[in-house]
Chains A and B, each alone.
Chain A
Amino acid sequence: MPDCQLSVSGVNVTLGSGEAAVRALSDVSLSFPAGAVTLIMGPSGSGKTTLLSVLGCLLKPQDGRVVVSGQEVTGMDEDELTLIRREQIGFVFQAFRLFESLTALENVELAMEVCGEKGPAVRDKAETCLGSVGLAAKKHLKPGEMSGGEKQRVAIARALIREPKILLADEPTASLDSQAGEAITRILHDIAEVQQRTVVIVSHDDRLREFAKNVVGLRDGKVVEQVN
């Protein structure tokens, strides 16, 4: 059994309150091994994004345990969760969420700057990260001057600069054409297998199955499929 960096057990999440309350996750227990891509699939409203928010320490479950790199985070306060995100988790978003005013290089550096780290060493590291996703030559371009695939690669470089053990990707290929989507999937696959990180991808895209070692199916907030 590979080293497990991320797990949840008995997680329940209810969104909203009163009559509008919706049970988004119901008694979800999962482990996400390092060195492998875990693909979470399911129809809209199945709880995929809610699960990703819980895994990313962005949303606290009402019940259950969440363990990140051996630390139980369930009872942590906002500041402690911020530190966990900063040190342990990288994010890749469907909408890229790059800062339009910054160049590719500056966007990657920003992930270090938010922790108070800057200077030539940070710049060198950012350039290396951009190089690792094949964007060294486009480091001075701003997001508005890049294609969707290039933006997503910048987002991956940004997620990797702090060398997180866990990478969470929300529909990383949804905004891309098939060619760019495949390139991004391969990068994520390599991050998991070569760099031995825990990679969790939420997607509707069935083509990602071939890159995933583990597939989790969700429906109505419950785990309905688990393929290893």
Chain B
Amino acid sequence: MRLALQNLLHDRLRMVVTSLGVAFAVFLMIFQGSLLIGFVNAAGRIIEATDSDLWIAPRGVVCFDFATAMDGRFEDIARGVAGVQSVDRLSVNFVDYRIPDGQQRIVVLVGADPHVGSRFPVPYLNGSQQSVEPEAILLDETSAKALDVHTVPSEVEINGLRAHVAGTVSGFSSFLGSPYAFSSYEDAARYSRTSSDKVAYLTVRVANGYDVESVRKKLAAELPEVNVWTRGEFERRSQLYWVGQTGAGAAILTAAVLAFLIGLVLVSQTVYATTLERVEEFATLKALGASKGFIAMVVMVQALAFGVAGGVAGVLIAMPIVQIAQKAVAWIYMPVWLVAGVLVPAFAMCVLASVVSIRAAVSVEPARVFRA
């Protein structure tokens, strides 16, 4: 398809402008998609970081962050159910965080028993998972600067009680506006002054050889006052709540869907307009005896060339911009599959637009070749 490619190379300005149109559409789709995926991931990140098979949560809980309290004796009941290997406690509370110069912030304090998960942030003593450092909290690295923590350890107060920032972790930035802080379960209970006979969540690990679903059913039967979910189920519930039932999530979802649709329309319109600009050439080809298949191939190759050039440019633009955006919106996340997930429909739209364009190209009146 020498003609198609030579045409593109000959009119470089048009090639650049059209490819930029496609690139902008691809960038828009990737950026908004990254925001949505990052938001969804952040909504389930803490749940996902536990190694548990099951979660026991109070009735009415809609997501991890907005926990209510349930009876602490459920822990002992759960331990007694056949197939339960271990039970760990988790708490979530909004607390007052104060640095030595008196500045205050509200943070979300997450307390957890040791061993709740190898990827779960708990301030272990000397990095060993055997014992937890007392009065210690961990902050996400992106939150540390916002909370004026520049060195560790750093002395702070939580609800008027002494604490120190023992270190930072990554990947646990919050979209709530209040950063996460992680401590041991006991410290979290003390800082938030919650009763020792109350607990927010229990996570359950199922023993080898037992079916997770059957253990879940047994726990649900033993604990009819609470919810017993698999980890994935609770994660999805949390994500669905944030995306579907909050204004922020709905806005991000809507923006992502709109960006996707606008991107696809931009791609198709750009390719279509470019084809129409070459209608005289298609008339000449028809006069020369070109078949419809030949003309269709010219249009298709040009459309795909725009798709490839614009798609690659869009990804190359999106990558650094998403990285820059991470400084302001730490949870934005651009997975590789999103790039594929955007490029495939973008290419498909190029092909679809070329199909519409092909109709215009092959139906051009060949007699127009005699118009000077």
Chain A positions within 8 Å of B, measured between CB atoms, are 49, 52-53, 56, 58-59, 79, 82-83, 85-87, 91, 93-95, 97, 99-102, 106, 110-111, 113-116, 158, 162, 170-171, 174-175
Given A53-B367, A110-B3, A171-B372; A58-B287 close (CB under 8 Å): yes
Q: Which residue of A lies closest to B9 (CB)?
A: A101
Q: A106 contacts B372, CB within 8 Å?
A: no
> B256-276: which have CB < 8 Å to A?
none
* Chain B 340-370 interface residues, beta-carbon cutoff 8 Å to A: 365-367, 369-370
Of all A-B residue pairs in the complex, the 9 with the closest CB atoms, nearest first, are A86-B289, A101-B10, A114-B290, A101-B6, A53-B367, A58-B367, A58-B366, A85-B289, A97-B284
B151 at the interface (CB under 8 A from A): no
**Cβ of B327 under 8 Å from chain A:** no
Q: Is the C-beta of B76 less than 8 angstroms from some C-beta in chain A?
A: no
Contact present for A114 and B372 (CB under 8 Å): no
Additional A-B contacts beyond A114-B291, A116-B294 (5; CB < 8 A):
A82-B289, A99-B6, A101-B3, A106-B6, A170-B370
Known contacts A101-B7, A102-B3, A106-B2: does B372 contact A95 (CB below 8 Å)? Answer: yes
**Does the CB pair B6–A102 fall under 8 Å?**
yes
B372–A94 CB distance below 8 A: yes
A-B contact count (CB 8 A): 78
Binding site for A on B (CB under 8 A): 2-3, 6-7, 9-11, 280-281, 284-292, 294, 365-367, 369-370, 372
Q: Which residues of A sit under 8 angstroms from B281, Cβ to Cβ? A: 99
The CA of A59 and the CA of B369, in the complex, are separated in Å by 11
Residues of chain A within 8 A of B6, CB atoms compared: 99, 101-102, 106
Query: In the complex, which residue of chain B has the Cβ closest to the Cβ of A89?
Result: B289
Q: Give bound CA distance, A226 to B320, whole Å.
A: 74
Nearest chain-B residue to A85 (Cβ)?
B289
What separation, in Å, do the CA atoms of A91 and B289 have in the docked complex?
10
> Which residue on chain A has the smallest CB distance to residue B4?
A101
Contact between B7 and A99 (Cβ–Cβ < 8 Å)?
yes
Q: How far is the CB of B356 from chain A (nearest CB, A)?
A: 19
With known contacts A58-B287, A101-B10, A114–B294 Cβ distance under 8 A: yes
* B362 → chain A closest CB, angstroms: 9
A82 and B286 contact, CB distance less than 8 A? yes
Bound-complex Cα distance A162 to B288 (A) = 10
User: Which residues on the B side are within 8 Å of A158 (C-beta)?
Assistant: 288
Please give, as numbers and ranges, the residues of chain B lying within 8 Å of A87 by CB-CB distance.
Answer: 289
Task: For the complex, give the distance between the alpha carbons of A95 and B372 in Å.
Answer: 6
**A53–B2 alpha-carbon span in the complex (Å):** 29
**Interchain CB contact under 8 A, B369 and A58:** yes
Bound Cα distance A58, B111 (Å): 81
Chain B residues contacting A171 (CB-CB under 8 Å) are 372
Q: Which residue of B lies closest to A98 (CB)?
A: B284
> Is A114 in contact with B367, judged by CB distance below 8 angstroms?
no
Q: Which residues does chain B contribute within 8 Å of A94, judged by CB atoms? A: 370, 372
Do B289 and A83 touch across chains, with their CB atoms under 8 A apart? Answer: yes
